[in-house]
Structures are given as structure tokens and as C-alpha cells.
């Protein structure tokens, strides 16, 4: 999988690339190494996304994969913000969790991947 950590080479920042088109091997199975690097990219991406940081990131895939990935990231961020500001038992947080669950299901259907984060 083409999924590189952001690094600086000769003063130039090399972006992280998440490429859903490379997740399957020649037999059509999801590559274990792709899953590991995808998880590593998400561990790097989520805190930056939550802070609102700009990231050197490129994401490739089908329109459906990209849409569902963007949607689940957005819903994950909103859920975490709601949890932090309103508490876990808040109706706002419960509503946000429901929207996140729907987004996760769509992501899993469109990519064949299990979303790696558990909801509180």
C-alpha cells in the first residue's frame, strides 16, 4: 500500500497517502500490511483532525470510498467534540453517536474494512 508517514526530505514535506485502490492483493483479499499502515495513518490523522490542523495528506479511491471515509471522519470528530463538551450521557452525544454508527456502517460496506475505533 502506498501509505507513507509525513516526513521532510531535503526541506520538502512528503505527504501521507492513503490509497484504497491498493488495499487488495492480486487475489482480491485485503492486505494485512495495508490494514496495518492504514491504522498507523489514522492514529496520526485523528489527533490532527480533532485539533483542526492542516495536514499534508492525499487520499485515493473510488468516489464511494472517499465519500464514506470523509463522512466517517467528520462524524467521528463531531462525536468526540460532543463527548468532550456535553458528556457521554448527553442527548446531543447520543445523537452524534447514532450518526457516527450510521457513517461507520456505510464506510464498512463501501470499503470492506472494519472501522478501527470503538465508540465510548
Check whether 47 has a pLDDT greater than 60.
Answer: yes
pLDDT at 56: 81
Q: Residue range 57-84: average pLDDT?
A: 92
Query: C-alpha grid cell for residue 59?
Result: 487520499
Question: What mean pLDDT is reported for the chain?
Answer: 84
Task: Name the more confident of 85 and 41.
Answer: 85
Parse the chain into domains and list their residue ranges: 1-61, 62-115
Report which of residues 43 and 120 the model is more confident about: 43
- List, as one string, the DSSP characters of 3-48: -PPPEEETTEEEPEEEEGGGSB-TTSPBPHHHHHHHHHHHHHHHHH
Amino acid at each position: 500500500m502506498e501509505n507513507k508517514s509525513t516526513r521532510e526530505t531535503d526541506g520538502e514535506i512528503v505527504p501521507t497517502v492513503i490509497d484504497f485502490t491498493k488495499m487488495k492483493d492480486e487475489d482480491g483479499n485485503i492486505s494485512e500490511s495495508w490494514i496495518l499502515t492504514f491504522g498507523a495513518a489514522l492514529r496520526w490523522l485523528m489527533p490532527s483532525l480533532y485539533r483542526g490542523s492542516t495536514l499534508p495528506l492525499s487520499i485515493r479511491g473510488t468516489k464511494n470510498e472517499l465519500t464514506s471515509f470523509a463522512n466517517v471522519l467528520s462524524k467521528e470528530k463531531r462525536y468526540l467534540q460532543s463527548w468532550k463538551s456535553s458528556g457521554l450521557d448527553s442527548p446531543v452525544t447520543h445523537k452524534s453517536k447514532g450518526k457516527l454508527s450510521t457513517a461507520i456502517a456505510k464506510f464498512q460496506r463501501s470499503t470492506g474494512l472494519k472501522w478501527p475505533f470503538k465508540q465510548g
